[in-house]
Amino acid sequence: MSQLTNYIQKELDKGFSKDLITKKLLQANYTQQEISDSFKSLKSAEPILRRKFADTLHLETHIRWSRWVFGLLALVVVLVLGFLVYQYGGELPSLPAVEVEEGTDCYALSEVHEKDICYLKLARNKGAACDNLYNRAFQRACQEKIWETDTCLYQQFIEQVSEDCQKKIEQQDCRHAEDYVSCLTTLAIQENDVGLCDTLLDCVVSFAIATEDGSVCETTPGSGTCGAAYYKATGDATYCTFGDLWCGYDPTWSDTEKKTFFEKHNASLPNREEYILSFGADKQEPLICDYYQNDNIISLLQQNQLTSPDFCVMAIASRLQDQELCNLFTETYKNSFCLELLTCQQTTTNEALCHAIP
């Protein structure tokens, strides 16, 4: 018996019709002639089909009689329960839960794909239906107990995907997108779920701004950066962190308001000297220099009758090449120092101070 004939015999034994078997083989690139010849060589094919059909009729008859029997049993159970309710005054003793069998009618389904779904569900509950599966992907999923290893993938197989799994699947799909972060951001905003950002800072920032919810910045390790970006986009400084002068600062404030703001953040300023100089130059704000203290050049400043705030203003003026800042000094010698440091050269009289400017 050839391999093809042997396969057809096995499929007939399983109860599959001649038409269905032929359809499968044609899809597998066998010719109609090869299939017809194999069927002709199987003298036992038709008796087997008749036997299957007879067994099916017998089963249907058995089911009809079973319905009558179960109906009578149900009536008896109702009568017994009624007696127990009467006997125990309305309170029944607890009964053990009965697990309902699923998929026992898989064979009756007409579509192969529907049968595979049914048998896969049955395998999850009974663990003995993998051999009945036709599709190889379903067979492998069943053998690997996909319902234990990947719940969402199992739901995809049985075409009953939950809302949470749908989000997870779409999140995984973003990994194949050209712009992963942009894809995640769009998905998170669409689903109104910042958790889909997977703590990616750019995604969380975009989500916070789009939804006008700065509180989500607190869910990411870069909360300070997120809060600052949120403030820049919305003007809401609620989620700014201490020590971040850029976040919450308003250049239109009065000098008193600015000093109050600087005082509030003073204790938390990071990398104090460089941070203050960078902020002062960026915002052209010399008032921040009141909090500048560079102990490394304190003796040099004292020799030139300067203070750390004086040096800070001169350093900012030098960075910006802004003579107007030098005019803040009313003392002539300080003003001269400032203008000279604006164009520091190797031959400058105050060469030491020139080299000290960061």
One domain for residues 110 and 36? no
One domain for residues 337 and 261? yes
Question: How many domains, the chain?
Answer: 4
199 within 8 A of 178, measured Cβ to Cβ: no
CA distance 25 to 7: 10
Q: What's this model's pTM, rounded to 2 decimal places? A: 0.46
Give the domain-ending residue among 157, 174, 196: 157
Range of the domain at 216: 164-234
Give the residue among 98, 137, 138 at the shortest CA–CA distance from 121: 138
One domain for residues 259 and 352? yes
CA distance 109 to 97: 29
CA distance 160 to 280: 59
158 within 8 A of 122, measured Cβ to Cβ: no
CA distance 331 to 321: 20
One domain for residues 141 and 177? no
Give the residue among 158, 99, 160, 165 at the shortest CA–CA distance from 129: 158
Give the residue among 186, 265, 189 at the shortest CA–CA distance from 228: 265
Q: Does residue 242 form part of some domain?
A: no
- Give the pLDDT score at 316: 94
Give the domain-ending residue among 180, 199, 234: 234
Q: Does residue 113 form part of some domain?
A: yes
Which amino acid type is present at position 75?
L
Positions in the chain short of pLDDT 70: 1, 14-15, 43-104, 126-128, 271, 345-349
Q: Does residue 99 form part of some domain?
A: no
- Give the pLDDT score at 279: 93
CA distance 135 to 112: 9
One domain for residues 135 and 191? no
226 within 8 A of 208, measured Cβ to Cβ: yes
CA distance 186 to 325: 46
Cβ burial of 132 (10 Å; 0-12, 13-18, 19+) is buried
211 within 8 A of 192, measured Cβ to Cβ: yes
- Give the pLDDT score at 24: 78
Residue 30 structure tokens: 């066998």
- Give the pLDDT score at 83: 56
One domain for residues 343 and 284? yes
